[in-house]
Amino acid sequence: MKSKYDILVIGGGPAGALAAKTAAEAGNSVCLIEKRPAIGTPVRCAEGIGKELLKEFVKPDPRWISADIERARLIAPNGTTIALEQDRAGNEGGYVLDRKVFDRELVWQAAEAGADVAVKTRATAPIMENGAVRGANVISIGRPAEIRAEVVIAADGTEAQFARRAGLDTVVPLREMMSCAQYLMTDIDIDAGSTDFYLGNEVAPEGYLWVFPKGERTANVGIGISGRKSRDGSRAKDYLDRFIAKNFPNGKTIEAIVGGVPVCRPLACTVADGLIVAGDAARVVDPLTGGGIGNAMYTGRLAGEVATECIEAGNCSKDALMRYDREWRASKMGATIERNYKVKEYFVTLDDAKLNTLADSIANISLKEFSVSALIKELIKRNPKMLFELKALKDALA
Amino acid sequence: MSTMLRINRDKCGYCGTCVAVCPEDALELIDAYLSLERECISCGTCARACPLGALEVVHEE
């Protein structure tokens, strides 16, 4: 680790790794720092991602793919199940990853491209000069140090403290913080080719409970509930334990993790002078699904590209870096986040009776397309009596 | 009477959910140790968000 680089990347998750790899491949001197002593652990993720999205960034490798997913099932409060099959869908389904190996692979690729990597190295504060970020003060295995850089890419995840200390508002409102718990369970009866989503206010208020296969009789069984629904006796862990007692009483838990998923809108602005914010720290998680891996890789790569251009042009001001902000907002990802935010805001208002009505209306329908928009269009078509209520959904598609 | 934030370290899963909702940037997750680094205003938002119930605002005489 040196005291000066072209680009300093904070955080060794998928956003930071793609940023570092992209920037290093373009010929920049790059340092990626990770506050944990190991890349990829502890996992804070349900590990699901669409195949097509993943392939945009990395070639699938069995070493970090735990399961191949052919279908998704939505289970309404009354048990009505809506199955979305990949063959009917026309797209390729998804994977459940092994993030411990996956994240390590991505950082490995960044290192191979020439980036320095420092673990157990925490950024304590940005170095600020005339209102611009010029690097970071870090503590590396107990030793304080200064790392200066033309551009800092903050990819520090949910906590997002680096951008916050540089003056951006990254605080997540309580109601839009999904409070999550997950067990990696084994010896359970599951459909190993299906990601299952359980909905309902008794099961997971303003969120959902998931069963994502990791193998034949193994799965990530987890839950996210809105922070505003989280209280003593009814926290994420309590809901999860109740579901497991009922559904997998003989399962064995071999890993227990917790975490927070921000489902607010993205940051109002994701750049500042000398700073780009990427991944969960930029709040670019899909607000409906909570999925963040693909969006992290996309924004990480874009951050690396834009930082490279700005360094070459000798201008790393906010105005110059704004190309990053404009580009992701105008992208398919940006449009999907905005739409799914509105869809999420509608769904959290539904009581279980309405969720059941909606689920029953589409339970026996073969959807030609495996997508949120196809699902919503079908809901609107099948529920003329709820047209007024569903207007919010219709508007979200517009 | 004063208030303070109590961290139950046997419950804490050191996930950082509390850090992201704290309006004062008072909490910091240093590897597997949640640290109260700056002044806490005892708003209790972190205690609500915690998936495990590891945080509690306590009132002392």
**CATH number of the structural domain spanning residue B40:** 3.30.70.20
| Range B24-37 average pLDDT | 94
| Range A191-217 average pLDDT | 97
Query: E strand or H helix at A297, and its extent?
Result: helix A293-313
Nearest to A184, CA basis, from A255, A241, A128, A280: A255
> pLDDT per residue over A337-373, tens digit each?
999 999 999 999 999 999 999 999 998 777 766 677 8
pLDDT at A87: 66
- Start-to-end CA distance of chain B, whole Å, equals 4
| pLDDT of A202 over the 90 cut | yes
Name the residue with higher pLDDT: B61 or A49. Answer: A49
Average pLDDT, chain B: 94
Nearest to A376, CA basis, from A53, A361, A200: A361
> pLDDT per residue over A135-182, tens digit each?
999 999 999 999 999 999 999 999 999 999 999 999 999 999 999 999
Buried b (16+ CB within 10 A) or exposed e, A145-183: eebebbbbbbbbbbbbbbbbbbebebbbebbbbbbbbbb
Q: Say if CB B7 and CB A160 are below 8 A apart.
A: no
Mutate to test the interface with B, among A120, A158, A234 (most CBs of B within 10 A): A158
Phi-psi region of B20 (alpha: psi -120 to 50; beta: other; left: phi over 0): alpha
| C-alpha span between A290 and A179 (Å, rounded) | 11
Work out the percent of chain A whose per-residue pLDDT is above 70: 98
Q: Hey, is the C-beta of B15 within 8 angstroms of any chain A C-beta?
A: yes
> pLDDT per residue over A291-309, tens digit each?
999 999 999 999 999 999 9
pLDDT at A267: 98
Mutate to test the interface with B, among A39, A174, A223, A267 (most CBs of B within 10 A): A174
Q: Hey, is the C-beta of A66 within 8 angstroms of any chain B C-beta?
A: no
Name the residue with higher pLDDT: A365 or A13. Answer: A13
Residue A62 pLDDT class (50, 70, 90 cuts): very high
Work out the percent of chain A whose per-residue pLDDT is above 90: 87
pLDDT at B1: 65
Q: What angle do CA B22, A31, A303 make, to 5 degrees?
A: 65
Domain range for B40 is 2-60
φ/ψ (deg, to 5) at A158: -50, -40
- Which chain A residue is nearest to residue B33, measuring alpha carbons? A36
Å from A93 to nearest chain B CA? 30
Q: The complex's ipTM?
A: 0.96
Q: Say if CB A201 and CB A252 are below 8 A apart.
A: no
Both structure tokens of B25: 């940037």
Q: Do B20 and A35 touch (CB under 8 A)?
A: no
Q: Hey, is the C-beta of A36 within 8 angstroms of any chain B C-beta?
A: yes
Q: Say if CB A283 and CB A266 are below 8 A apart.
A: yes
Hey, is A80 helix, strand or coil? coil
> pLDDT per residue over A219-241, tens digit each?
999 999 999 999 999 999 999 99
pLDDT at A370: 65
Q: Say if CB A348 and CB A263 are below 8 A apart.
A: no
| pLDDT of A89 over the 60 cut | no
Sorted by where each starts, the structural domains of chain A and their CATH numbers stand as 4-42+100-171+267-330 (3.50.50.60), 48-98+173-262 (3.30.9.10), 342-397 (no CATH)
Sign of the four-CA dihedral A146, A130, A156, A279: negative
Among A120, A177, A232, beta carbon nearest to B49: A177
| C-alpha span between A66 and A172 (Å, rounded) | 31
Phi-psi region of A20 (alpha: psi -120 to 50; beta: other; left: phi over 0): alpha
Nearest to A112, CA basis, from A11, A6, A20: A20
How many other C-beta atoms are found inside a 10 Å radius of the C-beta of residue A184? Answer: 20
| Range A381-397 average pLDDT | 82
Among A42, A161, A256, beta carbon nearest to B19: A161
Question: Which residue bears the tokens 């799965």?
Answer: A219
Domain count, chain B: 1
| Range A41-55 average pLDDT | 95
| Residues A384, A388, A389, A390, Cα dihedral to 10° | 60
Å from A239 to nearest chain B CA? 10
Residue A91 pLDDT class (50, 70, 90 cuts): low
pLDDT at A88: 58
| pLDDT of B25 over the 70 cut | yes
| Range A321-325 average pLDDT | 98
| Range A27-31 average pLDDT | 98
> How much is the pTM?
0.97
